[in-house]
Structure 1
């Protein structure tokens, strides 16, 4: 396996949290499933598939307060440079911030992803599992210099000004990271300023850690260990195959509604455009709240419906 592919799979699998039902895990899987490399150019995403995936997500998960930056990892890892997918990122980030009800944070995510992309590519070039000492300082300085020069396309002067204001504040915080790294040559990225809201820095050591314990971390509950871990590893393979064009995606043609699960009895097995093969494990009702539990290759999905009571 090429070293780059190995590191990409390592970053991807280590981005999953220990709880398989965690919204971050679900969103990483969604962001991988919607990848689209049919054009032969940059890897983009299937808008129709994303729409249906998020409709289902609203039934089986919860959004939390903020969109996790990990949702952008698949699009970063599937492409070979930031420039290749910049326009795609703008579109995806716009949709995700609107989905989370925070369109005013679009520029925050652009800065986060731009920085995370630069850091990941520094790791891929170094082919090492950690950056520390002077290598860390040089990497952070390089990211800062790139941020200073970075000006994404905007539609108005107001948008340009707003981005510049956020960028200046962001660079100021990054400068603090560089000072800390300069004063502590033995420091690792994940140990620097955890309160400064640099999720791309806080998590990067987790992304690049040894994967020997990955199967345990991504495979709770215990009796589902092998199935869950195998699925995540297969998604990592799928991601690198898309990046290397060993797999060409197909246009998503399915139009589905999660309401059909309400009509199916316990024990029913079928296929769904979004969840693929599934089995209805159980159905419970408490007042006007109905829960349909589905067993799939990627885990158990508890589809929650609030029924109208007349």
Structure 2
């Protein structure tokens, strides 16, 4: 039963249009390593680095700040909420740097703790009430301990106080509209909408979060989404990671997407990042070389500008 819930939550997160977030969630899944000895699942940072280098050539970064579902594969694959939180905090800081959102670092840290707590609590007990949920995530914010230099710690404590005040407002049903770059408020808005009064979200990042939560509570996953067979197989992979039955090895190589430039249409190779791929097309126009390749995870078009 819990495996089905996990799989539905994962699949539902892909029930959106934005390909950039979907690709980042796939990347997040591919970079997970199960550690049976430590009883946790963590991110292979060497692989993540190369995956994001590839991403830069075939996709654009999300145009919104509500990207918390890049964490969802990591959250779902861990069974222990505290170990999950530790890994989530490390990963979100990498994404903050990658997406160049450093001015919102502490909001992302706090929102990640909230989201990790929310997902784990609902998986354990989907019958939690609205106020109970908010009180629970508020306690997580209050109890969060991180190491920072003195200046950064002052800024973090200010962000923490603000977050607690916002959570208190939502407990009292004093809500705000969705707004760009209000990462914590927007997450609380999603929770409010699910439990109290449904409203329309402002971007696919929030829609992905909303559908993930709804799938845990009651809704079945939409199986009529793009590349459903692959997404379903990745959802199954998440459940196996939770049981530490993959025993995945670390990524110990390095790769460069520019090696694809030497391929021709029809060529088939095994790429360190994309696995078995076939070149579907290759053309040069307006000083840009575009190479479309097909893999098990989907079709990608890499763009290489002539320097």
Q: TM-score, normalised by structure 1?
A: 0.83
Q: Choose the corresponding residue for 1:139, options 114, 121, 133.
A: 133
Match of 1:234 in 2: 233
TM superposition shift of 1:289: 1.0
Q: Does 2:123 align with 1:124? A: yes
Match of 2:165 in 1: 172
Match of 1:32 in 2: 29
Residue by residue over 1:124-162, the C-alpha shift from the partner in whole angstroms, topping out at 9 and shown as x without a partner, is 12246xx6xxx1222212222332x22322222222221
Match of 2:251 in 1: 252
Match of 2:79 in 1: 80
**5+ unaligned residues in a row in structure 2: which ranges?**
176-191
TM superposition shift of 1:279: 1.0
Residue by residue over 1:154-199, the C-alpha shift from the partner in whole angstroms, topping out at 9 and shown as x without a partner, is 22222222111111222222223222299xxx973384687899x7
CA 277–137 in structure 1, closer or farther in 2 if over 3 Å, else same:
same
Partner secondary structure for residue 203 of structure 1: helix
TM superposition shift of 1:61: 0.5
Match of 1:59 in 2: 57
> Is the 1:194–1:202 contact (alpha carbons within 8 Å) kept by the matching residues of 2?
no
Number of aligned residue pairs = 286
Partner secondary structure for residue 223 of structure 2: helix
> Is the 2:12–2:222 contact (alpha carbons within 8 Å) kept by the matching residues of 1?
yes
Which one is further off, 103-112 or 7-16?
Answer: 103-112
> Is the 2:290–2:303 contact (alpha carbons within 8 Å) kept by the matching residues of 1?
yes
Partner secondary structure for residue 75 of structure 2: helix
CA 32–97 in structure 1, closer or farther in 2 if over 3 Å, else same:
same
Partner secondary structure for residue 71 of structure 2: helix
Match of 1:208 in 2: 214
Residue by residue over 1:23-50, the C-alpha shift from the partner in whole angstroms, topping out at 9 and shown as x without a partner, is 1100000011111124621211111101
TM superposition shift of 1:203: 2.8
Give the root-mean-square deviation of aligned CA atoms.
2.7
TM superposition shift of 1:201: 9.7
Partner secondary structure for residue 265 of structure 2: coil
CA 304–105 in structure 1, closer or farther in 2 if over 3 Å, else same:
same
> Is the 1:10–1:208 contact (alpha carbons within 8 Å) kept by the matching residues of 2?
no
Match of 1:224 in 2: none
Match of 1:189 in 2: 195
> Is the 1:190–1:201 contact (alpha carbons within 8 Å) kept by the matching residues of 2?
no
Q: TM-score, normalised by structure 2?
A: 0.84
TM superposition shift of 1:272: 0.4
Q: Does 2:150 align with 1:152? A: no
CA 86–121 in structure 1, closer or farther in 2 if over 3 Å, else same:
closer
Which one is further off, 259-268 or 137-146?
Answer: 137-146
Match of 1:45 in 2: 43
Match of 1:297 in 2: 296
Partner secondary structure for residue 80 of structure 1: coil
